[in-house]
Amino acid sequence: KTFFVPLINEALEVVKWFQSHGMAQKILEPYMMQDPTLKQVLVLILPAILLSLVAGGVAPFMTFVIGEVFNSFAEFAVITDASAADKANLRREIALSALELLGLGLGALALSSATSSLWIWAGERNTMLIRKRTYASVAAREMSWYDTRIGSEDSVQSAKGNDGPVGAGGLS
């Protein structure tokens, strides 16, 4: 527990630095969607969908490879007098299947990582767009709107009936 406290404090300092320095914001600004175009959406969403489909096909193919392993064992088991060549053939088939499974496992890891990254990236871009639009809407309002509209008797009532306004945004 004491190990993580300084680590968390350092991480918070990094976050505060990024939030307070305009240079970091200028570096990151081109990567944020200002107004999403069809091209930007397709660059993120289409590859994510395609990678999801390919990643979904890895597990059934793994099942196929394991089936081949069982088939190799079953074919070897029916041989009454197995020769050295039969044993070597079994070892070769099992070794190839093991390498296929290793490749499929590494491929599944890479595909799932890429798929997750693309979906997260698309979600973060959409969230950033929503936040910017919300901020622009809130920042564009006159100060008098906050003084007269939030908590006015027409919009927000207290929880105990029609006793009048309860404060900013209905919070008390």
Looking at mean pLDDT, say which of 48-62, 93-107, 132-146 comes out highest.
93-107
Q: Is residue 167 scored above 50 in pLDDT? A: no
Q: Is the dihedral of CA 85, 90, 91, 95 positive or negative?
A: positive
Residues 68 and 97 sit within 8 Å (Cβ to Cβ): yes
Mean pLDDT of the chain: 76
Q: How far apart are CA 30 and CA 22, in angstroms?
A: 13
Q: Over 70: is that where the pLDDT of 81 sits? A: yes
More confident residue, 166 or 71: 71
Residue with tokens 């527990």: 1
Taking only Cα atoms into account, the Rg of the chain, rounded to an integer number of angstroms, comes to 30
* Residue 56: closest CA among 102, 106, 97, 112: 112
> CA 16 to CA 24: how far, in whole Å?
11
**Closest residue by Cα to residue 52 from 98, 120, 136, 3:** 120
Mean pLDDT of 8-19: 72
Main-chain phi, psi angles of 39, to 5 degrees = -65, -45
Mean per-residue pLDDT for 115-137?
81
Q: What percent of the chain has pLDDT over 70?
A: 67
Lowest mean pLDDT: which of 82-86, 141-145, 164-168?
164-168
pLDDT tens-digit profile of 25-59? 565 555 555 555 677 677 878 888 889 999 988 98
C-alpha to C-alpha distance for 156 and 164, rounded to whole angstroms? 8
Top pLDDT among 161 and 53 is at: 53
Distances (CA, A) of 116 to 36, 55, 56: 20, 11, 13
